[in-house]
Amino acid sequence: MSKYLKSIIAVVFVVALMLNGISLALAQEQITITIQDYFDPGSGMARFVGRVAQEFEEKYPHVQINHVYIPFAELLPTILRQAVTGTLPEMIMADNPWIPSLIAAGVYKDISPQMREWGWENWEDFFPGHRALTSVDDQIYALQITTNNLALWYRRNLLDKAGVADPPATWDELRMVSEKIKEATGVYSLGFCATASEEGSWQFQPFLWSNRGSLLELDQPEAIEALQLLTDLVEGGYTPRDVVTVAGQGDVTQWFMAEEVAMMINGNWEFGWHLTPDVLEELGDVEVAPIPVPREGMRPITPFGGEAYGIGAGIAPEKLDITWEILQRLASPEGMLQANIEHGGLPTRASVAEIIREQRPALAPFLAQAPYALPRPMVGGVEKYPDVSSTLWTAIQKALTGIATPEEALTEAAQTIRGLFTPEEYEYYKQMARDLISAALGQ
Protein backbone atom coordinates (compact mmCIF):
# COMPACT_ATOMS: atom_id res chain seq x y z
CA MET A 1 0.00 0.00 0.00
CA SER A 2 1.41 3.33 -0.98
CA LYS A 3 2.14 6.03 1.60
CA TYR A 4 -0.43 8.28 -0.11
CA LEU A 5 -3.18 5.64 0.13
CA LYS A 6 -2.40 5.04 3.80
CA SER A 7 -2.83 8.77 4.46
CA ILE A 8 -6.21 8.80 2.69
CA ILE A 9 -7.43 5.83 4.77
CA ALA A 10 -6.27 7.48 7.98
CA VAL A 11 -8.12 10.70 7.16
CA VAL A 12 -11.30 8.80 6.31
CA PHE A 13 -11.03 6.85 9.59
CA VAL A 14 -10.66 10.04 11.67
CA VAL A 15 -13.58 11.73 9.90
CA ALA A 16 -15.72 8.63 10.49
CA LEU A 17 -14.91 8.74 14.21
CA MET A 18 -15.79 12.43 14.38
CA LEU A 19 -19.07 11.89 12.61
CA ASN A 20 -19.89 8.99 14.89
CA GLY A 21 -19.15 11.14 17.94
CA ILE A 22 -21.36 13.92 16.65
CA SER A 23 -24.09 11.38 15.97
CA LEU A 24 -23.86 10.01 19.53
CA ALA A 25 -23.97 13.50 20.98
CA LEU A 26 -27.04 14.35 18.95
CA ALA A 27 -28.63 11.07 20.08
CA GLN A 28 -28.05 11.98 23.77
CA GLU A 29 -31.30 13.76 24.41
CA GLN A 30 -31.68 16.46 27.01
CA ILE A 31 -33.28 15.23 30.20
CA THR A 32 -34.66 17.09 33.20
CA ILE A 33 -34.45 15.86 36.79
CA THR A 34 -36.51 17.52 39.49
CA ILE A 35 -35.47 17.55 43.16
CA GLN A 36 -38.38 18.55 45.37
CA ASP A 37 -38.05 19.60 49.02
CA TYR A 38 -39.22 22.13 51.61
CA PHE A 39 -35.88 23.68 52.52
CA ASP A 40 -36.11 27.45 52.35
CA PRO A 41 -34.00 28.65 49.39
CA GLY A 42 -31.83 30.67 51.76
CA SER A 43 -31.15 27.79 54.15
CA GLY A 44 -27.89 25.88 54.42
CA MET A 45 -29.41 22.63 53.17
CA ALA A 46 -30.96 24.34 50.13
CA ARG A 47 -27.60 25.89 49.28
CA PHE A 48 -25.90 22.50 49.56
CA VAL A 49 -28.45 20.74 47.34
CA GLY A 50 -28.19 23.60 44.86
CA ARG A 51 -24.42 23.18 44.63
CA VAL A 52 -24.79 19.44 44.06
CA ALA A 53 -27.27 20.15 41.27
CA GLN A 54 -24.79 22.52 39.66
CA GLU A 55 -22.02 19.91 39.91
CA PHE A 56 -24.14 17.39 38.03
CA GLU A 57 -25.20 19.85 35.34
CA GLU A 58 -21.51 20.56 34.69
CA LYS A 59 -20.65 16.85 34.69
CA TYR A 60 -23.57 15.93 32.42
CA PRO A 61 -24.23 18.79 29.95
CA HIS A 62 -27.36 17.06 28.65
CA VAL A 63 -28.94 17.09 32.14
CA GLN A 64 -30.95 19.97 33.59
CA ILE A 65 -31.76 19.81 37.30
CA ASN A 66 -34.68 21.72 38.74
CA HIS A 67 -34.52 22.23 42.50
CA VAL A 68 -38.10 22.97 43.50
CA TYR A 69 -39.05 24.48 46.88
CA ILE A 70 -42.50 23.77 48.32
CA PRO A 71 -43.45 25.16 51.77
CA PHE A 72 -43.64 22.61 54.58
CA ALA A 73 -47.42 22.80 54.99
CA GLU A 74 -47.95 22.17 51.28
CA LEU A 75 -45.41 19.44 50.63
CA LEU A 76 -47.22 16.34 51.91
CA PRO A 77 -50.53 17.06 50.09
CA THR A 78 -48.50 17.91 46.99
CA ILE A 79 -46.68 14.56 47.08
CA LEU A 80 -49.93 12.64 47.58
CA ARG A 81 -51.57 14.52 44.71
CA GLN A 82 -48.57 13.83 42.47
CA ALA A 83 -48.74 10.12 43.38
CA VAL A 84 -52.41 9.94 42.36
CA THR A 85 -51.88 11.81 39.08
CA GLY A 86 -48.65 10.03 38.14
CA THR A 87 -46.62 13.24 38.21
CA LEU A 88 -44.11 12.47 40.96
CA PRO A 89 -40.75 14.22 40.52
CA GLU A 90 -37.57 12.20 40.17
CA MET A 91 -36.30 12.91 43.69
CA ILE A 92 -38.61 13.54 46.64
CA MET A 93 -37.72 14.77 50.11
CA ALA A 94 -40.08 14.22 53.04
CA ASP A 95 -40.13 14.87 56.76
CA ASN A 96 -39.15 11.59 58.43
CA PRO A 97 -42.52 10.84 60.15
CA TRP A 98 -44.17 10.81 56.72
CA ILE A 99 -41.81 8.24 55.22
CA PRO A 100 -43.59 4.98 56.26
CA SER A 101 -46.93 6.25 54.93
CA LEU A 102 -45.36 7.42 51.67
CA ILE A 103 -43.66 4.05 51.22
CA ALA A 104 -47.03 2.33 51.80
CA ALA A 105 -48.62 4.70 49.28
CA GLY A 106 -46.11 3.62 46.62
CA VAL A 107 -44.44 7.02 46.33
CA TYR A 108 -40.84 5.77 46.50
CA LYS A 109 -38.90 3.39 44.27
CA ASP A 110 -37.16 0.41 45.85
CA ILE A 111 -33.46 1.31 45.74
CA SER A 112 -32.19 -1.91 47.33
CA PRO A 113 -30.41 -3.06 44.14
CA GLN A 114 -28.56 0.23 43.90
CA MET A 115 -27.59 0.07 47.59
CA ARG A 116 -26.21 -3.46 47.18
CA GLU A 117 -24.14 -2.34 44.21
CA TRP A 118 -22.88 0.70 46.16
CA GLY A 119 -21.79 -1.56 49.01
CA TRP A 120 -23.87 -2.86 51.90
CA GLU A 121 -21.45 -1.30 54.37
CA ASN A 122 -22.86 2.08 53.32
CA TRP A 123 -26.35 0.99 54.43
CA GLU A 124 -25.11 -0.46 57.70
CA ASP A 125 -23.30 2.81 58.45
CA PHE A 126 -26.70 4.48 58.97
CA PHE A 127 -27.96 4.44 62.58
CA PRO A 128 -30.51 1.65 63.27
CA GLY A 129 -33.51 3.97 63.73
CA HIS A 130 -32.98 5.54 60.32
CA ARG A 131 -32.65 2.13 58.65
CA ALA A 132 -35.89 1.01 60.31
CA LEU A 133 -37.71 4.12 59.14
CA THR A 134 -36.71 4.01 55.46
CA SER A 135 -36.97 0.28 54.74
CA VAL A 136 -39.66 -2.40 54.72
CA ASP A 137 -38.88 -6.13 54.68
CA ASP A 138 -35.25 -5.50 53.68
CA GLN A 139 -36.27 -3.24 50.79
CA ILE A 140 -34.85 0.29 50.98
CA TYR A 141 -36.88 3.28 49.79
CA ALA A 142 -35.15 6.43 51.04
CA LEU A 143 -32.00 7.72 52.75
CA GLN A 144 -32.05 10.21 55.61
CA ILE A 145 -29.15 12.64 55.35
CA THR A 146 -29.79 14.95 58.29
CA THR A 147 -31.34 14.53 61.71
CA ASN A 148 -31.79 16.23 65.08
CA ASN A 149 -32.84 15.41 68.61
CA LEU A 150 -33.35 17.01 72.01
CA ALA A 151 -31.04 17.76 74.93
CA LEU A 152 -30.90 19.85 78.12
CA TRP A 153 -29.66 23.40 77.56
CA TYR A 154 -28.66 25.42 80.64
CA ARG A 155 -27.38 28.85 81.68
CA ARG A 156 -24.21 28.29 83.67
CA ASN A 157 -24.42 31.58 85.59
CA LEU A 158 -27.87 30.71 87.00
CA LEU A 159 -26.71 27.27 88.11
CA ASP A 160 -23.67 28.89 89.75
CA LYS A 161 -25.90 31.31 91.64
CA ALA A 162 -27.88 28.32 92.93
CA GLY A 163 -24.70 26.52 93.96
CA VAL A 164 -25.25 23.77 91.40
CA ALA A 165 -21.97 22.44 90.01
CA ASP A 166 -23.33 20.10 87.35
CA PRO A 167 -26.56 20.00 85.34
CA PRO A 168 -29.06 17.37 86.53
CA ALA A 169 -28.42 13.91 85.11
CA THR A 170 -31.35 12.03 86.73
CA TRP A 171 -34.98 12.81 87.51
CA ASP A 172 -34.22 13.11 91.24
CA GLU A 173 -31.42 15.56 90.48
CA LEU A 174 -33.77 17.49 88.18
CA ARG A 175 -36.25 17.93 91.03
CA MET A 176 -33.48 18.92 93.48
CA VAL A 177 -31.78 21.35 91.08
CA SER A 178 -35.14 22.89 90.17
CA GLU A 179 -35.83 23.69 93.81
CA LYS A 180 -32.36 25.21 94.30
CA ILE A 181 -32.57 27.41 91.22
CA LYS A 182 -36.05 28.66 92.06
CA GLU A 183 -35.06 29.42 95.65
CA ALA A 184 -31.74 31.09 94.82
CA THR A 185 -32.63 33.06 91.69
CA GLY A 186 -36.41 33.35 91.61
CA VAL A 187 -36.54 32.33 87.94
CA TYR A 188 -38.19 29.25 86.55
CA SER A 189 -35.89 26.24 86.51
CA LEU A 190 -36.96 24.35 83.37
CA GLY A 191 -38.76 25.31 80.19
CA PHE A 192 -40.19 22.85 77.69
CA CYS A 193 -42.83 22.91 74.99
CA ALA A 194 -46.17 21.22 75.71
CA THR A 195 -48.25 22.93 73.07
CA ALA A 196 -51.19 21.17 71.40
CA SER A 197 -49.23 19.90 68.42
CA GLU A 198 -46.63 17.33 67.44
CA GLU A 199 -44.06 19.48 69.26
CA GLY A 200 -45.85 18.76 72.55
CA SER A 201 -45.68 15.00 71.99
CA TRP A 202 -42.09 15.20 70.69
CA GLN A 203 -40.84 16.95 73.84
CA PHE A 204 -42.56 14.44 76.15
CA GLN A 205 -41.23 11.36 74.36
CA PRO A 206 -37.68 11.43 75.83
CA PHE A 207 -39.14 11.21 79.35
CA LEU A 208 -41.55 8.46 78.26
CA TRP A 209 -39.06 6.25 76.41
CA SER A 210 -36.13 6.74 78.79
CA ASN A 211 -38.44 5.33 81.48
CA ARG A 212 -39.26 2.30 79.27
CA GLY A 213 -42.73 3.64 78.48
CA SER A 214 -44.52 3.20 75.16
CA LEU A 215 -46.88 5.34 73.11
CA LEU A 216 -49.10 2.27 72.73
CA GLU A 217 -49.23 1.53 76.47
CA LEU A 218 -49.80 4.94 77.99
CA ASP A 219 -51.80 3.57 80.94
CA GLN A 220 -48.75 1.74 82.27
CA PRO A 221 -46.71 3.02 85.26
CA GLU A 222 -43.69 3.96 83.12
CA ALA A 223 -45.76 6.45 81.11
CA ILE A 224 -47.67 7.81 84.11
CA GLU A 225 -44.43 8.39 86.04
CA ALA A 226 -43.00 10.38 83.12
CA LEU A 227 -46.02 12.68 82.87
CA GLN A 228 -46.16 12.99 86.67
CA LEU A 229 -42.59 14.35 86.61
CA LEU A 230 -43.49 17.16 84.21
CA THR A 231 -46.77 17.84 86.01
CA ASP A 232 -44.94 18.16 89.33
CA LEU A 233 -42.54 20.70 87.81
CA VAL A 234 -45.43 22.84 86.58
CA GLU A 235 -47.49 22.54 89.77
CA GLY A 236 -44.40 23.26 91.89
CA GLY A 237 -43.79 26.54 90.07
CA TYR A 238 -40.50 25.35 88.58
CA THR A 239 -41.84 25.41 85.01
CA PRO A 240 -44.03 28.18 83.51
CA ARG A 241 -47.69 27.20 83.14
CA ASP A 242 -47.48 28.84 79.71
CA VAL A 243 -45.71 25.74 78.35
CA VAL A 244 -49.14 24.58 77.14
CA THR A 245 -49.86 27.78 75.19
CA VAL A 246 -46.52 28.59 73.53
CA ALA A 247 -46.56 28.73 69.75
CA GLY A 248 -43.67 26.31 69.53
CA GLN A 249 -40.22 25.36 70.77
CA GLY A 250 -38.76 28.67 69.61
CA ASP A 251 -40.78 30.49 72.28
CA VAL A 252 -39.06 28.42 74.96
CA THR A 253 -35.70 29.55 73.60
CA GLN A 254 -36.81 33.16 73.96
CA TRP A 255 -37.45 32.52 77.67
CA PHE A 256 -34.04 30.89 77.92
CA MET A 257 -32.23 33.76 76.24
CA ALA A 258 -34.00 36.27 78.51
CA GLU A 259 -33.02 34.25 81.63
CA GLU A 260 -36.67 33.60 82.42
CA VAL A 261 -35.81 29.89 82.61
CA ALA A 262 -32.44 28.50 83.69
CA MET A 263 -32.70 25.28 81.67
CA MET A 264 -34.73 24.16 78.68
CA ILE A 265 -35.42 21.09 76.57
CA ASN A 266 -34.66 21.92 72.96
CA GLY A 267 -32.96 20.71 69.81
CA ASN A 268 -29.59 21.15 68.12
CA TRP A 269 -31.22 23.25 65.38
CA GLU A 270 -31.08 26.15 67.84
CA PHE A 271 -27.36 26.48 67.03
CA GLY A 272 -28.40 27.68 63.58
CA TRP A 273 -31.63 29.47 64.54
CA HIS A 274 -31.71 31.55 67.75
CA LEU A 275 -28.45 30.53 69.42
CA THR A 276 -26.07 31.36 66.62
CA PRO A 277 -22.34 31.86 67.37
CA ASP A 278 -22.67 35.63 67.84
CA VAL A 279 -25.62 35.20 70.22
CA LEU A 280 -23.81 32.49 72.16
CA GLU A 281 -20.77 34.76 72.50
CA GLU A 282 -22.96 37.58 73.78
CA LEU A 283 -24.76 35.35 76.31
CA GLY A 284 -21.47 33.75 77.32
CA ASP A 285 -22.77 30.97 79.57
CA VAL A 286 -24.86 28.57 77.44
CA GLU A 287 -24.00 24.88 77.79
CA VAL A 288 -25.70 21.62 76.81
CA ALA A 289 -26.07 18.25 78.54
CA PRO A 290 -27.99 15.01 77.87
CA ILE A 291 -31.64 14.89 78.92
CA PRO A 292 -31.97 13.66 82.56
CA VAL A 293 -32.85 9.98 82.85
CA PRO A 294 -35.01 8.22 85.48
CA ARG A 295 -32.05 6.65 87.27
CA GLU A 296 -28.27 6.78 87.11
CA GLY A 297 -26.79 4.54 84.44
CA MET A 298 -29.83 4.64 82.16
CA ARG A 299 -29.64 5.85 78.59
CA PRO A 300 -31.59 8.93 77.37
CA ILE A 301 -33.81 7.89 74.47
CA THR A 302 -35.01 10.76 72.32
CA PRO A 303 -37.10 10.91 69.14
CA PHE A 304 -35.27 11.95 66.02
CA GLY A 305 -36.27 14.53 63.46
CA GLY A 306 -34.88 15.37 60.04
CA GLU A 307 -35.54 14.64 56.40
CA ALA A 308 -35.00 11.82 53.93
CA TYR A 309 -34.68 11.77 50.15
CA GLY A 310 -35.88 9.00 47.85
CA ILE A 311 -36.47 8.38 44.15
CA GLY A 312 -39.98 8.71 42.71
CA ALA A 313 -41.58 5.35 41.93
CA GLY A 314 -42.49 6.28 38.37
CA ILE A 315 -39.09 7.55 37.28
CA ALA A 316 -38.26 7.15 33.58
CA PRO A 317 -35.57 4.49 32.96
CA GLU A 318 -33.22 6.95 31.23
CA LYS A 319 -33.21 9.16 34.35
CA LEU A 320 -32.68 6.50 37.00
CA ASP A 321 -28.88 6.15 36.94
CA ILE A 322 -28.15 9.87 37.22
CA THR A 323 -30.84 10.40 39.87
CA TRP A 324 -29.36 7.59 41.92
CA GLU A 325 -25.90 9.11 41.48
CA ILE A 326 -27.24 12.41 42.86
CA LEU A 327 -28.80 10.61 45.83
CA GLN A 328 -25.49 8.81 46.41
CA ARG A 329 -23.73 12.17 46.43
CA LEU A 330 -26.15 13.56 49.04
CA ALA A 331 -25.87 10.48 51.25
CA SER A 332 -22.15 9.83 50.83
CA PRO A 333 -19.94 10.50 53.89
CA GLU A 334 -18.49 13.57 52.21
CA GLY A 335 -21.87 14.89 51.12
CA MET A 336 -23.51 14.23 54.48
CA LEU A 337 -20.68 16.02 56.28
CA GLN A 338 -20.91 19.08 54.03
CA ALA A 339 -24.70 19.15 54.25
CA ASN A 340 -24.85 19.00 58.03
CA ILE A 341 -22.07 21.50 58.65
CA GLU A 342 -23.87 23.98 56.43
CA HIS A 343 -27.37 23.03 57.66
CA GLY A 344 -26.49 22.78 61.36
CA GLY A 345 -27.93 19.28 61.61
CA LEU A 346 -26.66 15.92 62.76
CA PRO A 347 -25.48 13.17 60.39
CA THR A 348 -27.27 9.82 60.27
CA ARG A 349 -24.14 7.78 59.53
CA ALA A 350 -21.87 6.64 62.37
CA SER A 351 -18.69 7.35 60.42
CA VAL A 352 -19.71 10.96 59.78
CA ALA A 353 -20.84 11.50 63.39
CA GLU A 354 -17.29 10.84 64.55
CA ILE A 355 -15.89 13.48 62.20
CA ILE A 356 -18.42 16.18 63.03
CA ARG A 357 -18.01 15.54 66.77
CA GLU A 358 -14.36 16.66 66.45
CA GLN A 359 -15.28 19.75 64.45
CA ARG A 360 -18.24 20.83 66.64
CA PRO A 361 -17.76 19.71 70.27
CA ALA A 362 -20.94 21.57 71.35
CA LEU A 363 -22.96 18.94 69.48
CA ALA A 364 -21.53 16.13 71.63
CA PRO A 365 -24.69 15.51 73.78
CA PHE A 366 -26.87 15.34 70.66
CA LEU A 367 -24.42 13.09 68.80
CA ALA A 368 -24.18 10.77 71.81
CA GLN A 369 -27.96 10.31 71.74
CA ALA A 370 -28.26 9.98 67.94
CA PRO A 371 -27.38 6.24 67.62
CA TYR A 372 -30.29 5.32 69.93
CA ALA A 373 -32.83 7.92 68.85
CA LEU A 374 -36.17 6.42 67.83
CA PRO A 375 -38.32 6.92 64.71
CA ARG A 376 -41.67 8.15 65.98
CA PRO A 377 -43.95 6.37 63.51
CA MET A 378 -42.28 2.99 64.04
CA VAL A 379 -42.97 3.10 67.78
CA GLY A 380 -46.37 4.75 67.40
CA GLY A 381 -48.49 2.60 65.12
CA VAL A 382 -46.76 3.58 61.83
CA GLU A 383 -49.56 5.05 59.66
CA LYS A 384 -51.68 5.80 62.75
CA TYR A 385 -48.89 7.78 64.39
CA PRO A 386 -50.49 11.23 63.73
CA ASP A 387 -53.63 10.08 65.58
CA VAL A 388 -51.57 8.53 68.38
CA SER A 389 -49.59 11.74 68.74
CA SER A 390 -52.65 14.01 68.82
CA THR A 391 -54.19 11.77 71.50
CA LEU A 392 -51.00 12.04 73.52
CA TRP A 393 -50.62 15.81 73.35
CA THR A 394 -54.27 16.18 74.41
CA ALA A 395 -53.55 14.05 77.49
CA ILE A 396 -50.41 16.05 78.29
CA GLN A 397 -52.37 19.28 78.18
CA LYS A 398 -55.09 17.87 80.46
CA ALA A 399 -52.50 16.85 83.05
CA LEU A 400 -50.44 20.06 82.95
CA THR A 401 -53.52 22.28 83.21
CA GLY A 402 -54.99 20.25 86.08
CA ILE A 403 -58.06 19.07 84.18
CA ALA A 404 -57.06 15.47 84.95
CA THR A 405 -54.34 13.68 86.86
CA PRO A 406 -51.56 12.13 84.75
CA GLU A 407 -53.04 8.69 85.44
CA GLU A 408 -56.56 9.76 84.43
CA ALA A 409 -55.38 11.57 81.30
CA LEU A 410 -53.14 8.74 80.09
CA THR A 411 -55.66 6.00 80.91
CA GLU A 412 -58.22 7.77 78.73
CA ALA A 413 -55.59 8.30 76.00
CA ALA A 414 -54.59 4.64 76.05
CA GLN A 415 -58.20 3.57 75.51
CA THR A 416 -58.53 5.99 72.59
CA ILE A 417 -55.32 4.74 71.02
CA ARG A 418 -56.35 1.07 71.29
CA GLY A 419 -59.54 2.00 69.43
CA LEU A 420 -57.49 3.17 66.44
CA PHE A 421 -56.44 -0.42 65.66
CA THR A 422 -57.95 -3.86 65.25
CA PRO A 423 -56.90 -6.17 68.11
CA GLU A 424 -54.42 -7.90 65.81
CA GLU A 425 -52.94 -4.63 64.56
CA TYR A 426 -52.64 -3.30 68.09
CA GLU A 427 -50.73 -6.36 69.33
CA TYR A 428 -48.44 -6.24 66.28
CA TYR A 429 -47.57 -2.56 66.63
CA LYS A 430 -47.30 -2.76 70.43
CA GLN A 431 -44.71 -5.50 70.10
CA MET A 432 -42.88 -3.59 67.36
CA ALA A 433 -42.65 -0.58 69.67
CA ARG A 434 -41.53 -2.74 72.57
CA ASP A 435 -38.76 -4.32 70.49
CA LEU A 436 -37.44 -0.99 69.22
CA ILE A 437 -37.55 0.66 72.66
CA SER A 438 -35.79 -2.31 74.27
CA ALA A 439 -33.09 -2.28 71.58
CA ALA A 440 -32.56 1.47 72.05
CA LEU A 441 -32.27 1.01 75.80
CA GLY A 442 -29.71 -1.75 75.26
CA GLN A 443 -31.87 -4.42 76.87
Q: What is the pLDDT of residues 215-255, one digit of tens each?
A: 999 999 999 999 999 999 999 999 999 999 999 999 999 99
**What are the pLDDT digits (tens) for 255-278?**
999 999 999 999 999 998 899 899
Q: What is the mean pLDDT of residues 113-127?
A: 98
User: How does DSSP classify residue 304?
Assistant: -
Strand-by-strand arrangement of the 305-311 sheet: 63-69, 31-37, 91-95, 305-311, 143-148
Rounded to whole angstroms, what are the CA distances from 203 to 108, 152, 198, 270, 429?
Answer: 30, 11, 9, 15, 22
Check residue 18 and give its pLDDT. 53
* Separation of alpha carbons 324 and 320, rounded Å: 6
Please list the alpha-helical segments (H only) found in 28-71.
Answer: 44-59
CA angle 276–279–284, rounded 5-degree value: 120
How far is residue 437's CA from residue 201's CA, in Å, rounded to a whole number? 16
**pLDDT exceeds cutoff 90 at 21:** no
Residue 426, Cα to own-chain centre: how many angstroms?
26
E-strand ranges in 105-170 read: 135-136, 139-140, 143-148, 150-155
Closest among 95, 114, 117, 32 to 327, alpha carbons compared: 114
